Structure 1
Amino acid sequence: MLSRARIVAAALRLLDAEGMEALSMRKLGAEMGAAATSLYRHVTGKDEVIELALDEVCGELVVPAADAPGDWREAVSRSGHNLRAMTLRHPWVASVLGQVGPAHLGPNLMRMSERMLALFQTAGFPASEAAPAMTAVVSYVVGATSGEAAHLSRIARGGQSERNPRALRDENFDYGLQRILDGLQARLAHA
């Protein structure tokens, strides 16, 4: 029996295994043992499937709370690492995240955004700067992770093993994230 939830689950399996370029309504239908046209009773098309799949994986994200203004930096740092980890588990996400506009925010993506925005508000960023501060962090994470995810996908598809130790990739990512947070912390001190 087809349902939106089953379609999203099948799309996730296909996206995780073969990437964005492999997803088509025809291939998704074949994966589910159904005609592509029958999927259209539950979704409007490939774009909606991708949006639903993105929102589904965003449900995996953990954004810790900051109970006091001084806790914001650690919470944002952990959120950035969590976003990176989710993107590396689902490499196709990196190519989609930067393309999702406000009109396409599903409940999980909206919840993640609201929780991250609350971290900057708790820190004491003025209302006019909280959203741009959040965008700066998310943009860094997506940008840094896009290349890493693409590289790891190429290696996996080619049956090769990685040359760079994961610890080095983790270290390089954290270095950049901490420099972004240094700049935001300096800005907060002047606000």
Structure 2
Amino acid sequence: MTRERALAAAVALADAEGLRALTMRRLAADLSIEAMSLYYHLPGKEGLLDGLAETVIAEISAVAGDEKGDWRARLRQRFLRAREVMLRHPWAPALIGSRASVPPSLYPYYDEIVGTMTEAGFSAHLAHRALHAFGTMPLGFVQELFAPVAAGGATEVGDAEADLAAMAGALPHLTAMMAAELHAAGDPTLGWCDSQTEFEFTLDLLLDGLERARG
């Protein structure tokens, strides 16, 4: 029994059944060990969740580093590879956002991103602004502003449409936008607003704008 084996089993359980199914007792049962043995490697539920976040970030880091092209192409490839990891683990964005501290393995990952920009002629000031603009995109997802419908079936869609109709009088422009996007959100996503199309559109917009600012 090792910490790595326990975390690999935790990732597999979360992938199959979601984070809600992941408890110390359930994980110990899946590993065919006593729960107290698991605590030796992972100190409680928060330690388990911290370990899960570290594991996903390590997976992102492992697929980065061999990008080709100019700085825009390299960062684009890196962020899209990170997104592939997140799509394999759709519970990971919410988990990473819930951690009380920054996982240590994120620092070298972001150091490489900043290095890519400074090697291309970015000042430290502009690289800092770029990180603010990117937000969570280097990790392969974007945080949502609105989520009128949960991932699921027709009942949730019907409820969302009723809510939008009730909002229309007070918020006509926002409601019209959300109604249009509600019907368009058919591709595999990490959330209602976080479709692959929207992710790539935003990423390309930012990269092109930063290239102009760099010049």
TM-score (ref. length: structure 2): 0.67
Report the equivalent of 1:25.
24
SS at match of 1:176: helix
SS at match of 1:60: helix
Higher-RCO chain (CA-CA 8 Å, sequence separation at least 6): 1
Q: Looking at secondary structure, tell me which structure has more helix per residue.
A: 1
Deviation of the 1:100 alpha carbon: 4.2
- The answer on whether the counterparts of 1:88 and 1:145 sit within 8 Å (CA) in structure 2 is no
Matched residue type, 2:81: N
Question: Does the CA contact (< 8 Å) of 1:16 and 1:92 recur in 2?
Answer: yes
User: Greater shift after overlay, 139-148 or 7-16?
Assistant: 139-148
Report the CA distance between 1:183 and its aligned residue. 2.4
| CA spacing shift, 1:132–1:11, aligned 2, 3 Å | farther
Task: Compare CA radii of gyration and give the structure with the larger one.
Answer: 2
1:115 aligns with 2:141: no
1:179 to 2:205 alignment: yes
Are the counterparts in 2 of residues 4 and 42 from structure 1 also a CA contact under 8 Å?
A: yes
- Measured in 1, the distance between the counterparts of 2:9 and 2:50 equals 14
1:123-162, aligned counterparts within 5 Å?
123-140=120-137, 141-143=140-142, 154=152
Letter in 1 for 2:33: A
Which residue matches 1:14? 13
Q: Indicate the residue corresponding to 2:157 in structure 1.
A: none
Distance 1:5 1:146 in 2: 35
Give the superposition deviation at 1:92: 1.1
Q: Which runs of 5+ in 1 are unaligned?
A: 156-162
Q: Which runs of 5+ in 2 are unaligned?
A: 154-184, 189-194
Instruction: Give, in angstroms, the shift of residue 105 of structure 1.
Output: 1.8
Q: CA RMSD in A?
A: 3.1
TM-score for both structures, normalised by structure 1? 0.74
What is the Cα deviation at residue 138 of structure 1? Answer: 4.4
Specify whether residues 124 and 101 from structure 1 end up closer, same or farther in structure 2 by C-alpha distance, changes over 3 A only.
Answer: farther
Q: Identify the residue that residue 77 of structure 1 maps to in structure 2.
A: 76
- The separation in 1 between residues aligned to 2:111 and 2:211, in whole angstroms, is 20
Distance in 2 (CA, whole Å) between partners of 1:94 and 1:9 is 18
Q: Say whether the 8 Å CA contact 2:67–2:78 is kept in structure 1.
A: no
Identity of aligned pairs, percent?
29
Aligned equivalents of 1:23, 1:119: Cα separation in 2: 37
The corresponding residue for 2:95 is 96
Contact 1:80 1:138 in 2 (8 A): no
| 1:72–1:120 Cα contact (<8 Å) kept | yes
Q: Distance between the aligned counterparts of 1:43 and 1:6, measured in 2?
A: 11
Could you say what secondary structure the match of 2:40 adopts? Answer: coil
Tell me if 1:63 matches 2:89: no
- Post-superposition offset of 1:43: 1.5
Q: 1:180 to 1:52 in 2, by over 3 A?
A: same
What residue in structure 1 maps to residue 104 of structure 2? 105
Amino acid at match of 2:207: L
Distance 1:180 1:98, change over 3 A: farther
